[in-house]
Structure 1
Amino acid sequence: MAASRHPVEELDPDVLACLSGVTDPEIGLSIVDLGLIYRARNGPQGLDVALTLTSPACPLGELIADNVRAQLACRFPAAPDIAVALVWDPAWTPDRISGQSRERLGLLAKVAL
């Protein structure tokens, strides 16, 4: 039986750096800082990205996915393929937002008791 991998663990730093230029149009923050990227691979077959949205009801999913594809195509023009998938598992939670973005949104940091 093959070991399952948690999709959030496959994050290539170069791909993430590229995607940090893509913002969520409603929130105005990077999709990377919001924790919307679950997989970001750069391999021999090309680029493979899985992202989620803050809500499955978000009407901007395809727009964000198209922006991801465009950003990747500009940064990695020699990539043989660019695959971008919208995924819903695991469900996104605000806990995935980076510390700096949490501050910008006025969210209080978790306090351990």
Structure 2
Amino acid sequence: MSEAPFPYDGPEELRQPIVAALSRVVDPEVALNVVDVGLVYGVTVAQGKLHARVTMTSAACPVTDVILEEIEAELDRDMPPELLIQVELVWEPPWSTDRLSESAKRFMGW
């Protein structure tokens, strides 16, 4: 079993395709993918639905809609066509720099 960089509950065969799809979505404000920025809080796949919980670095993020649309598009591209994709924007717990991956911290010079 390969670990996802966020909580994942669903079929094992979908884990890596989901991580790959989400890793293609870039937050244009920081030029890093949403997985490395720590914007993905969790993904559940059950009963014909993929539910992704994501956040933004700030409630004032000017590209929220763009990021959410890209997340849905990338997941839809790689998932079985019968799977309903639901992307939920959440604000709890608040995002913090602690959520950055090690590679994101290195990229930012931390």
* TM-score of the aligned structures, taking structure 1 as reference length: 0.80
Match of 2:107 in 1: 104
More strand by share: 2
TM superposition shift of 1:78: 1.9
Distance across 2 between alignment mates of 1:27 and 1:56:
15
Deviates more, 1:42-51 or 1:25-34: 42-51
Contact 2:7–2:43, Cα closer than 8 Å, also in 1:
no
Match of 2:7 in 1: 9
How many residue pairs match? The answer is 100
Moved runs in structure 1, 4+ residues, more than 6 A? none
More helix by share: 2
Structure 1: state its 5+ residue gaps: 1-7, 108-113
Contact 1:11–1:38, Cα closer than 8 Å, also in 2:
no
Letter paired with 1:30 = N
- Identify the match of residue 24 of structure 2 among 21, 25, 41: 21
TM superposition shift of 1:42: 2.2
Q: Which has the higher contact order (CA 8 A, sep 6+)?
A: 2
- Cα distance, 1:28–1:45 mapped onto 2, change above 3 Å: same
The percentage of aligned residue pairs carrying the same residue is 35
Contact 1:37–1:50, Cα closer than 8 Å, also in 2:
yes
Structure 2: state its 5+ residue gaps: 1-5
Report the aligned-residue RMSD.
1.6
TM superposition shift of 1:11: 5.9
Larger Rg: 1
